[in-house]
C-alpha cells in the first residue's frame, strides 16, 4: 500500500517530477529473496543497471548484497561506494576486449558471452584467471514484448548451445578455467516451470566444466506493476529447485554456489514517479491529463508498452473517469491510455508506481528538459538523493565553436 500522505509531502518538499523511493521496500525485497533461497549457498548481486543511484547502492552494500555490472563505470562506481571487487560481477555485452582487461585488473568476476572475447581471454590469460561463461539455452521465455525476451535463439545474448563444441575447443586450447556458468533471462520469467527448464539445461551442461563452482541465474524475475498482479512465487521456485539442485550437486560430488542478479525485483516496487498535472485537455474524444514529465523520465510505457499503475494522490475519493495520461514531450508521449482514474484536476499530483527499476536509469534530457530529482525515505527520514538538473547540466560537455 502506498503511503499517500507521505508521497504528497515528498512532492511538496522536493517538487515534481520526482522519483521517490522507499528504502524499507528495498530491504523487504532483499530479505524476501534471501529467504526464498535460504537453504542454498547463494549470493545476490544487484543488477545496478536497473537503478544506479549511489544511495541505493549503499543500501545494497549495507544489506550484504553484491553488484552485477555491465560497464567499467558501473564497476568503478561500485568500488567507490565500498563494494569489494569479489562482490562484483561484470556481465558485459559484445564489448571491446579492453573492457574485459580492465575488469580483470579491477579484480571482479567476469562473464564472457561471445567466442571472440573468450578466445582473446584465453590467449591473454591462459589458465591464470578464471571466468564465467554466459550461455543461451534457447528457451522461448514468456515476455510482454519481443524486445526483452532473451532466452530465444534470435537473441544476441550468451553463447548459443549450438556452438558448444567450438566453446569447448577454445576452453581446452588455452586451458581456460571456467568456474561459473551464467544464464540470464530478462524479466520475462513468470512461471516456475520456465525457470526450472533453464536450470535443468544448465545442470546437464555443468558436468562439462570441471572447475565449476558457481551457477549464475542472472536476473529476470518479473515484478508486479500494479497491486495484485500475479507474478512468480519465489519461495515456491526455491522449493521446486531444491531437489533438482541437490541431485545435481550429488552427481557432481560438490556444492555449487548459486548466484542471482535481480534488478527490478529489488528496486521496482520501491520507486514512484511523482508528477503534477499541468493541463487538462480534450479533443472531443479523449480526455488528456498532461503532466510535467514524459518518456524522457520514464520510457517503459512507450518503449515496452509496459503497464505502470497510476494513482491520483490529490483526489483519491473522487469518482473515476477515463484519462489518457500524457507527458509534455513534442511527440506521442503516453503514460497510460484511457485509464480509469479518480477525477483529475489541474495541479493534482499523480503517482506512477513500480517505477524504481529502469526508471531513472533510462532517463534522458530529450527536449532539453531537466532530469528529475530523486528522494528516498528511510524510517521516517525523507532525503534528496539526487538534485534535479539545472541549465548547467544540460549544457555540460557541450562545446561552442566559432563560425
User: Which residues contribute to the site for ligand LLP (CB under 6 A)?
Assistant: 47, 50, 68, 91, 148, 184, 186-187, 218-221, 261-265, 300, 304, 357-358
> To the nearest whole angstrom, how small is the minimum distance from the Cβ of residue 285 to ligand LLP?
30
CB 394 to ligand LLP: min, Å: 24
Residues 6+ apart with CB under 8 A from 244: 196, 199, 200, 203
Site of grid cell 534528496: 384
Catalytic site residue 249?
Answer: no
Nearer of residues 51 and 312 to ligand LLP, judged by Cβ: 51
Spell out the long-range contacts of 298-301 with Cβ–Cβ below 8 A and sequence spacing 24 or more: 298/273, 298/335, 298/352, 298/355, 298/359, 298/362, 298/363, 299/358, 299/362, 299/363, 299/364, 300/355, 300/358, 300/359, 300/362, 301/334, 301/335, 301/336
Name which of 290 and 294 has its Cβ closer to ligand LLP.
294
Give the nearest distance from C-beta 180 to ligand LLP in angstroms.
Answer: 13
The minimum distance between CB 92 and ligand LLP, in angstroms, equals 9
Q: CB within 8 A of 28, min separation 6: which ones? A: none
Q: How far is the CB of 76 from ligand LLP (least distance, A)?
A: 18
Distance CA 114, CA 235 (A): 33
Q: CA 72 to CA 4: how far, in whole Å?
A: 39
What span, in angstroms and rounded, lies between the C-alpha atoms of 104 and 108?
A: 6
Under 8 Å between Cβ of 196 and 238 = no
The residue (of 263 and 372) whose beta carbon lies closer to ligand LLP is 263
Q: Least distance (Å) from ligand LLP to the CB of residue 324? A: 21
Q: Closest distance between ligand LLP and the C-beta of residue 50, in Å?
A: 5
Q: What is the DSSP letter of 93?
A: S
Taking residue 293's Cβ as centre, other Cβ atoms within 10 Å add up to 28
> Which one, 10 or 67, has the nearer CB to ligand LLP?
67
Task: Return the ∠ at Cα 356 (arms to 351 and 362), rounded to 5°.
Answer: 105
Between CA 37 and CA 43, with CA 40 as vertex, the angle to 5 degrees is 75
The residue from 285, 330, 332, 401 that is catalytic is 330
CA dist 174 and 120 (Å) reads 10
Rounded to an integer, what distance in angstroms lies between the CA atom of residue 46 and that of residue 60?
Answer: 7
The overall longest dimension of the chain from CA atoms, in Å, is 73
Active site residues: 330
Amino acid at each position: 500500500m502506498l503511503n499517500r500522505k507521505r508521497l504528497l509531502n515528498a512532492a511538496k518538499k522536493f517538487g515534481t517530477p520526482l522519483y521517490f523511493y522507499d528504502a524499507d521496500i528495498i530491504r523487504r525485497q532483499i530479505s524476501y529473496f534471501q529467504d526464498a533461497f535460504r537453504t542454498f549457498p547463494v549470493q545476490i548481486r544487484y543488477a545496478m543497471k536497473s537503478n544506479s543511484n549511489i544511495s541505493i547502492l549503499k543500501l545494497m552494500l549495507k544489506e550484504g548484497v553484491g553488484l552485477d555490472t555491465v560497464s567499467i563505470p558501473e564497476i568503478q562506481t561500485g568500488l567507490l561506494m565500498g563494494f569489494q571487487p569479489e562482490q562484483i560481477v561484470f556481465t558485459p555485452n559484445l564489448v571491446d576486449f579492453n573492457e574485459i582487461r580492465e575488469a580483470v585488473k579491477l579484480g571482479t568476476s567476469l562473464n564472457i558471452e561471445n567466442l571472440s572475447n573468450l578466445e582473446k581471454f584465453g590467449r591473454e590469460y591462459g589458465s591464470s584467471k578464471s571466468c564465467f561463461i554466459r550461455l543461451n539455452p534457447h528457451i522461448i521465455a514468456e515476455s510482454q514484448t519481443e524486445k526483452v525476451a532473451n532466452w530465444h535463439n534470435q537473441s544476441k545474448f550468451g553463447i548459443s548451445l549450438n556452438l558448444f563444441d567450438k566453446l569447448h575447443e577454445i576452453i581446452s586450447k588455452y586451458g581456460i578455467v571456467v568456474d561459473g556458468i551464467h544464464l540470464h533471462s530478462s524479466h520475462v520469467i513468470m512461471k516456475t516451470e520456465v525457470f526450472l527448464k533453464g536450470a535443468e539445461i544448465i545442470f546437464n551442461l555443468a558436468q562439462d566444466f570441471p572447475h565449476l563452482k558457481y551457477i549464475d541465474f542472472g536476473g529476470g524475475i518479473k515484478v508486479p506493476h500494479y497491486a495484485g498482479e500475479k507474478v512468480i512465487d519465489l519461495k515456491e521456485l526455491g522449493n521446486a529447485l531444491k531437489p533438482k539442485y541437490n541431485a545435481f550437486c550429488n552427481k557432481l560430488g560438490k556444492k555449487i554456489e548459486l548466484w542471482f542478479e535481480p534488478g527490478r525485483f529489488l528496486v521496482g516496487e520501491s520507486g514512484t514517479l511523482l508528477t503534477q498535472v499541468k493541463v487538462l485537455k480534450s479533443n472531443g474524444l479523449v480526455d488528456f491529463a498532461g503532466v510535467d514529465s514524459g518518456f524522457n523520465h520514464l520510457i517503459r510505457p512507450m518503449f515496452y508498452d509496459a503497464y505502470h499503475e497510476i494513482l491520483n494522490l490529490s483526489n483519491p475519493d473522487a469518482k473515476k473517469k477515463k484519462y489518457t495520461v500524457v507527458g509534455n514531450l513534442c511527440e506521442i508521449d503516453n503514460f497510460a491510455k484511457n485509464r480509469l482514474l479518480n477525477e483529475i484536476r489541474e495541479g493534482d499530483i499523480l503517482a506512477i508506481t513500480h517505477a524504481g527499476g529502469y526508471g531513472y536509469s533510462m532517463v534522458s534530457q530529450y527536449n532539453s528538459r531537466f532530469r528529475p530529482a530523486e528522494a528516498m525515505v528511510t524510517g521516517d527520514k525523507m532525503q534528496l538523493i539526487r538534485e534535479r538538473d539545472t541549465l548547467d547540466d544540460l549544457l555540460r560537455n557541450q562545446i561552442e565553436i566559432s563560425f
